[in-house]
Amino acid sequence: MTHLAIRGLSKVYAAQAAPAVDDLDLDIESGSLTALLGPSGCGKTTTMKMIAGLLKPTTGDILFDERSILSIPPERRGAVMVFQNHLLFPYMSIAQNVGYGLKMRRMERAEIDRQVAEMLELVRLPGMEDRRPKELSGGQQQRVALARALVVRPKILLLDEPLSNLDAHLRFEMRDLIRDIQQQMGITTVFVTHDQEEAVVLADKIALIFDGRLQQYDKPLAFYEQPSSRRIAAFFGGVNFFTGTQDGDGFTSTIGRFSVTRDGPADGGILTIRPEDVRLSEDGETNTVSGTIDSQVYVGTHARLRVTVDDHTVNVVADADVMKRYGQGDRITLQFPENKLWILPAE
């Protein structure tokens, strides 16, 4: 297992005014699974390519177990990258594709065959040795690419949008497979994604990147319950934001005053609560507001409500049976649990 450290990493392209990656610092624990998450063009794949040695940083350093690897050529770094387009050799069998790296290391044929069979078993493709890539589905080809990367026992496994080319069913299946294999082998793994759900389900920690800069590096739950900015909260589906001021254990907002149990930043000026954390109020509860239902949308297991409170909109996710009790235009009272309120820095 390998500890990965990134120190002041930047990449500047001559044709771009702003850096593609700007002064990035990360410590990725040995044996962990980390997501580089962000919208397209934010610098996450550029970062991964610099780790792999496919791009040279403009400034900064990359260290494996406290040793800089910038002067080490890509083929000797021990970092293997799996691309979203598989890049399998079409004229080779599956066994030849998976065993290619071992062949380049001049390993004996019998040992190559043994390790290839072992790896295909691991990625749940036993008996596929003699097939060609064109005979496999997209999901199976992705597994072959993963097996080819794993068979050389890399120090760092790099996955570039590993699920983006798969349909929904295969994404779930491949997601579980990647997690199971990573835990079983204990390989330090970094994967790039723009999908929040994928990052949350797979990763031990998420490095969220906007515009080439690291915004927040934390466990998945923190991005939902303790985002460090309004933009981060919105990226993770937050839509309820109310300006105001904090004083002691209270926050006076544009829709009322609320008790809060979690201290926000000193310059806190925005109160937020996730739609799924807003509750329908029971009699006698505190932290309540009343409003009018503007719209209701049935989404199978739940319903989405838009409620107008003092000219402001509160978005609510509730059990689907709420639609049996209330209709559009009805008055409704909402409760904001103290432990679900979070205060963000003022903009």
Buried b (16+ CB within 10 A) or exposed e, 114-139: ebbbebbebbebeebbeeebeebeeb
pLDDT at position 267 over 70: no
Question: Tell me, what's the pLDDT at 257?
Answer: 92
> Predicted confidence band at 83 (pLDDT cuts at 50, 70, 90)?
confident
Question: Tell me, what's the pLDDT at 171?
Answer: 82
Name the amino acid, one letter, at 68: S
Q: Do 129 and 117 touch, CB atoms closer than 8 A?
A: yes
Question: Tell me, what's the pLDDT at 208?
Answer: 98
Question: Tell me, what's the pLDDT at 93?
Answer: 93
Mean pLDDT of 35-40: 95
Mean pLDDT of 217-234: 94
Is 240-345 in the same CATH topology as 4-225? no
Rounded to the nearest 5 degrees, what angle is found at the Cα of 220, between the Cα atoms of 164 and 6?
80
Specify the fold of 4-225: Rossmann fold (3.40.50)
Specify the fold of 240-345: OB fold (Dihydrolipoamide Acetyltransferase, E2P) (2.40.50)
Question: Tell me, what's the pLDDT at 308?
Answer: 96
Proportion of the chain above pLDDT 90, given as a percent: 69
Mean pLDDT of 69-92: 90
Question: Tell me, what's the pLDDT at 45?
Answer: 94
Domain ranges of the chain: 4-225, 240-345
Predicted structure pTM score? 0.90
pLDDT at position 166 over 80: no
DSSP 266-315: TTEEEEE--GGG-EEPPTT-SSEEEEEEEEEEE-SSEEEEEEEETTEEEE
